[in-house]
A and B are shown apart, each in its own frame.
Chain A
Amino acid sequence: MTAAQQLASVRVPALETRALRKNFGPAEIIRGVDLTIARGERHAVIGPNGAGKSTLFNLISGLLLPSAGDIRLDGVPVGGLPAYKINRRGLSRSFQVTNIFPKLSVWENVRCAVLWSKGEKYTFWRSVDANPEIAARTQQVLSEINLSTRKDLPAGVLTYAEQRALEIGITMAGGANVILLDEPTAGMSHAETERAVDLIRRISEGRTLLIVEHDMSVVFGLADRISVLVYGEIIASGTPAEIRGNAKVKEAYLGEEAH
C-alpha cells in the first residue's frame, strides 16, 4: 500500500450515513440522518426515549430497510442488504433486549458467532472440531467476557449481567471491525455497569464502536465523539466537551436531566 492509498483509506469513514430516512406508514421515525464515524473512533448516540436510536441501529445493521438515503461501510454502500450480508462485511451488533441462543450452551453461543469468520459457511461435510482455530477463538472470547467457568451451562440460565456479557461476546466473536452496541448497560447495577464499560473499552480497542447508551457517565467516559438524536434528526455532533457546552443539546436533552 502506498502512502497516498494509506491516507485515502484512513480518510474513508468506517461507517457513514447520508440523508438516511425511515418511515412506518405516515410516521417518519428517522428524518435525514447524516452520521460519519471515523475508523477507530468510539462514537455514542444519545437522545431522549423515542428519538429513533434503536431504529437507526436497525437500519444500519440491516434488520430494517431504509426508506431513503445511503449507508456506507468502509465506503461501500450496504443500505438494503440483508443483515447477514452486512454482518459478513464486518459489522456486528448487540441488542437492547438480550438476544442470545437460550438453549445452546454458553460455549455454543460464542462458537456459532465465530464460525462464519473462520470460513466455515454452511459446511456439513466436516466436523466443527476439524479447525482448531474455532475452539481457540471461542475460548479466547469466553476468557475476555469472563464466562470460561460457565461455558457448559445453557445460556438461558445465566444471570442477567452474564447474559449481557455473552451478548457482547457474541457480537465481537466474529472479529467485526465495526461494532454497534445497543444500550449494553441497561438494567445493570453500578458495579456491573463499571465492569461492562471496562469490557467494552477492551473489546473496542483498535475497532470502530457505535454505541447507544442512556447512562451519561458511561457515554462521557467512553466516547471520543457524541451525536445527539432528537425526533429522528441529529441536532449536534462533536466531542464530549462540545456536546456538554452545546445550547441546543442542553435545551433538548441534557437540560431535562438538570431539572
Chain B
Amino acid sequence: MSDAILRRASTAAAQGGIGRLAPLGLWMATALLFALLPLIFRSGTALTVLSLMGIAIIFALSYNMLLGQTGMLSFGHAVYYGLGAYFTVHAINWAIAAALPIPLIAMPVVGGFAGLLFAIIFGWVSTKRSGTAFAMISLGLAELVGSSSLILRSFFGGEEGVSTNRTKLLRLFDWNFGPQIQVYYLIAAWCLLCMALMYALTRTPFGRMCNAVRDNSERAQFVGYNPQVVRFLAFCLSGLFAGIAGGLASINFELANSALFSAVQSGNVLLATFIGGAGHFVGPILGAVLVTYLQNMLSDVTEVWQLYFGLLFIATVMYAPGGLAGLIMMHGPIWRAGALAGLLAAYALMLLPLAAVAVGAILVIEMMTHLGVKAAEGTIMKMGGISFDAKSGLPWLLALALLAGGGALARLGWGYLAAAWDRAQGIARDKGLTQ
C-alpha cells in the first residue's frame, strides 16, 4: 500500500519535472509567434489590429481575474483601463515637458499604478459585497467616473480628450516609436509579460484561494481565509493589469478620451471574456483576439456588425456557456482517446446545413437593413459581388429556402451528431480519460 503510494508519488514527481518544462516551451513558442506575426501579416491594417489584440488580451485577462477566477461580475472594468490611459498620457506629456530621461517602454507602468491606486480606493468599497450587490456597485462607480471625466476638463480634456506624442521621449536603440511596427513590438512585449504574470498568479496560494472563494466563499472562511480580503486583492491586481492595458491603448492611439471609460468598453471586455470562456486561462485570450478581429473586420463588411456580435454572444451563453475554450477543452479527452476523427466527420456533415441557415439569416438581415436604413439609396443592393433588388421576390424566396432547407437538414443531422458525440465520449470513458 505505502509502496504503491511512493511509486505513484515518484512518477508524479517525474511528470512534475516535465510538466514544469512544458509551460516554458509554450511561453517561448508564444514569444516566437508574437515576434513573427508582423512578418506574416504585413499590411498596415493587420498591424493595427494585431496591436489592438495585444491590448485586448491584457484587458480581458485582467477582467477574468475577477469573473472567471474569483467569481466577481463587474460592469465597470473600463474605469481602470481608462484611468490607466489618462495617467499614462499625462505622464508622457509631463516627461516631454520636463525633458526627463524616461523611455516610452516604461510608461505603461504609470497606467498600471493608476489602475492599482483607483482599484484600491474603489475596491475598498465595492469588494465588501459579493454577487449582485458587487455588480451594481461596479456599475455605479463606472457611471460616476464616466460623468466626472466630462466635468473635470483640466485633467480629462472634455469631449476631445488629451493627446500626446509618443515619439518625443528618450530613445533607446534609436527606436522613436513612430512606425506602427515599433508600437506593435512594445505592446507584444508587455502583453507577453502580463500574460506570464497573470498566469503565475493563478498558481500562487492567493490564486488558488480566489478559485475557492468563487466556488464556495462560506467554506473559505472555515479554512482560515477572509473572502473579503481575497476579493479585494483580486480586484486591486486586476485593476493594475487593466491600467497597463489602458496605458498601452493610449500609447497606441496617442490619445486618451472618455470613450475609454464608457459602458461600451466595460461591456466589450465582458463579452470578449465570456465568448472566449471564463473557465480557462486561455479563454479570455481567444475571446479578445476574436472580438477584436470582428470589431475591426466585420464593421468594414456590414453596418449591423453589432447585431451579429450580439447574436454570437447570445449563442455562446445558450449553447456554449464554457465559451470557445470550453468547447475546445471538451474535445481533449476524445482527442487523447483517438476518437476525434469520427466526430470530425459528423461535424463536417453538419457544416453544409448550418452554413445554409447562416447565409439565409444573413441575407434576411442585410435586406431588411438595406430597405429600412438605406431606403434613400434605392432598393438595389450588392452582396458577395452580386447585385439584386431587395424588394423583388426572388432573393427573399432564396433566403427563406436556405433557412428552411438548412434548418430541416440540420435537425436531421443533429441526431447523427449526438450519436457520434456519445460514441466518442464512450471511447474516452472506456480508456479512463473522462468521467
From B112-120, B214-222, B300-308, B336-344, the one touching the partner chain is: B214-222
- The answer to whether B229 and A99 have CB atoms under 8 Å apart is no
Q: Looking at the assembled complex, report how far the CB atom of A99 sits from the nearest CB atom of chain B, in whole angstroms.
A: 5
Q: Which chain A residues numbered 86 to 104 have a C-beta less than 8 Å away from chain B?
A: 87-88, 92-93, 95, 99-104
The winner among B5, B8, B221 for most chain A CB atoms within 10 A is: B221
Cβ-based interface call for B211 (8 A): yes
**A107-123 contacts to B (CB < 8 Å):** 108, 111-113, 115-117, 120-123
Out of A63, A111, A139, A153, name the residue touching B208 (CB < 8 Å): A111
**Cβ–Cβ contact A112 & B209, under 8 A:** yes
Indicate if the CB atoms of B204 and A87 lie closer than 8 Å: no
In angstroms, Cα B201 to Cα A128, docked, is 10
A129's partner among B203, B211, B214, B233 (CB-CB below 8 A) is B203
**Known contacts A101-B212, A103-B215, A139-B9: does B222 contact A122 (CB below 8 Å)?**
no
Residues of B contacting A120 in the complex (Cβ-Cβ under 8 angstroms): 205
A100 CB contacts on chain B under 8 angstroms: 216, 219
Taking CB as reference atom, which chain A residue is nearest B201? A124
Q: Say yes or no: is A19 at the interface (Cβ < 8 Å to chain B).
A: no
Which A residues are CB-close (under 8 A) to B212?
101, 104, 108, 112
The verdict on B226 contacting chain A, using a C-beta distance below 8 Å, is: yes
Tell me which residues across on chain B come within 8 A of A127, comparing CB atoms: 200, 203-204
A212 to chain B, nearest CB (A): 16
**CB of B253, distance to nearest CB on chain A (Å):** 31
Q: Bound complex: CA of A99 vs CA of B215, how far in Å?
A: 10
B435 close to A (CB within 8 Å): yes
Interface hits, B213-270 → A, CB 8 Å: 214-216, 218-226, 229-230, 233, 237
Is A148 engaged at the interface, CB distance under 8 Å to the other chain?
Answer: yes
Contact mask for chain A residues 48-88; partner B; CB cutoff 8 A; 1 contact, 0 none = 00000000000001110000000000000000001110011
Residue of B nearest to A125 (CB): B204
Residues of A contacting B222 with CB < 8 Å? 61, 83-84, 87, 92-93, 99, 171
- Which residue from chain A places its CB closest to the CB of B435 in the assembled complex? A157
| Nearest A residue (CB) for B4 | A148
Q: A170 at the A/B interface (Cβ < 8 Å)?
A: yes
Contact across chains for A88 and B224 when beta carbons are under 8 A apart: yes
Chain B residues within an 8 Å CB radius of A157: 435
A86 to B200, CA, bound (A): 31
Q: Which among B5, B203, B219 is the interface contact of A170 at CB below 8 angstroms?
A: B219
Say what secondary structure dominates the interface of chain B: helix
In the bound complex, how far is the Cα of B364 from the Cα of A80, in angstroms? 64
Cross-chain contact B205 with A115 (CB below 8 angstroms): yes
B206 at the interface (CB under 8 A from A): yes
Does A174 count as interface, using CB distance less than 8 angstroms? yes
Whether B5 lies near A148 (C-beta < 8 A) is: yes
Any B CB within 8 A of the CB of A259: no
Q: Which residues of A contact B225 (CB under 8 A)?
A: 84, 115-116, 122
Min Cβ gap A114→B in Å is 8
Is residue B276 contacting chain A, with contact meaning CB distance below 8 A? no
In the complex, whether A126 has a CB less than 8 A from a CB of chain B is yes
Is A143 an interface residue, CB under 8 A from the partner? yes
Q: Is the CB of A124 within 8 A of B226?
A: no
Assess whether A101 is in contact with B219, with CB atoms less than 8 Å apart.
Answer: yes
A87–B223 touching, CB < 8 Å: yes
Q: How far is the CA of A171 from the CA of B224 in the complex (A)?
A: 11
Q: Once the chains are docked, how many angstroms separate the CA of A111 from the CA of B204?
A: 12
Q: Answer whether residue B283 sits at the interface, using C-beta atoms and an 8 A cutoff.
A: no
Docked complex Cα distance between A153 and B434 (Å): 9
Q: How far is the CB of A95 from the nearest CB of chain B, in Å? A: 8
Task: Chain A residues near B353: list those with CB within 8 A.
Answer: none
The verdict on B207 contacting chain A, using a C-beta distance below 8 Å, is: yes
Please name all residues of chain B whose beta carbon is closer than 8 Å to the beta carbon of A121 when the two chains form the complex.
205
Q: Contacts A61-B222, A115-B209: A128 and B215 contacting too (C-beta < 8 A)?
A: no
Q: How far is the CA of A148 from the CA of B208 in the complex (A)?
A: 20
Whether B223 pairs with A116 at a CB distance below 8 angstroms is yes
Q: How far is the CB of B59 from chain A (nearest CB, A)?
A: 20
CB closest residue in chain A, given B1: A143
Asked if A115 and B223 make an inter-chain contact with CB atoms under 8 angstroms apart, the answer reads yes
Cα separation A82 to B221 with both chains bound (whole Å) = 8
- Residues on the B chain within 8 Å of A101, using CB: 211-212, 215-216, 219
Most buried by B among A63, A115, A125, A148: A115
A158-184 interface (Cβ within 8 A of B): 170-171, 173-174
B219 touching A143 by the CB < 8 A rule? Answer: no
> Contacts A124-B201, A127-B200, A148-B5: A82 and B226 contacting too (C-beta < 8 A)?
yes
Contact B216 A122 (CB under 8 A): no
Query: CA A93 – CA B220 in complex, angstroms?
Result: 12
Name the residue of chain B whose CB is nearest to the CB of A87.
B224
Chain B residues 74 to 129 lying within 8 A of chain A, measured CB to CB, are: none
Closest 4 CB pairs of A and B: A116-B224, A124-B206, A120-B205, A101-B215
B residues with a Cβ closer than 8 A to A are 5, 8-9, 200-201, 203-209, 211-212, 214-216, 218-226, 229-230, 233, 237, 435
- Of the A-B pairs whose beta carbons lie under 8 Å apart in the complex, a sample of 28, sorted by A's number, is A61-B222, A83-B221, A84-B221, A84-B226, A87-B221, A87-B223, A99-B216, A99-B218, A101-B212, A101-B216, A101-B219, A102-B216, A103-B214, A104-B211, A104-B215, A108-B211, A108-B212, A115-B208, A122-B229, A122-B230, A123-B206, A124-B201, A125-B204, A126-B205, A127-B203, A127-B204, A129-B203, A148-B8
Q: A84-B220, A84-B222 are in contact. List 14 more A-B contacts (CB 8 A).
A: A62-B221, A84-B221, A84-B225, A88-B224, A92-B222, A95-B219, A99-B222, A104-B215, A115-B225, A120-B205, A123-B204, A123-B206, A124-B207, A126-B205
